[in-house]
Amino acid sequence: MTFSSMPERDPAWNGRITACLIVLVILWPMLVMAEFKPWILLDAQSLGATWQFLSTFFPPAHSLEFLEMVWQATWETIAMATAGMTLALLGAIPMTLIATERLSISRLGTGRIAIWAMTIRQAVRWILILLRSVPELVWALLLVRIVGLGPTAGVIAIALTYCGMLGKVYADILESSDAAACDNLLRNGSGRLAAFFYGALPSSASELVSYTVYRWECAIRGSVVMGFVGAGGLGQRMDESMKMLAGDELATMLLVFILLVACADGVSAMLRRRLA
pLDDT, residue 41, reads 74
pLDDT, one tens digit per residue, over 149-168 is: 888 888 999 999 999 999 99
Q: How far apart are CA 36 and CA 153, in angstroms?
A: 33
pLDDT, one tens digit per residue, over 17-58 is: 888 888 888 888 888 887 777 777 777 777 787 787 777 788
Contact 271, 80 (CB under 8 A): no
Q: How far apart are CA 264 and CA 220, in angstroms?
A: 8
| Cis upstream peptide for 135 (omega within 30°) | no
Q: How far apart are CA 231 and CA 140, in angstroms?
A: 7
pLDDT grade, residue 106 (50/70/90)? low
251 has a pLDDT exceeding 60: yes
Say if residue 253 is exposed, middle or buried (CB neighbours under 10 Å; 0-12, 13-18, 19+): buried
pTM check: above 0.85? no
3-state secondary structure of 189: coil
If one compares 197 and 208, the residue with the highest pLDDT of the two is 208
Rg (CA), the chain: 26
pLDDT, residue 107, reads 61
Nearest by Cα to 103 from 183, 168, 188, 207: 183
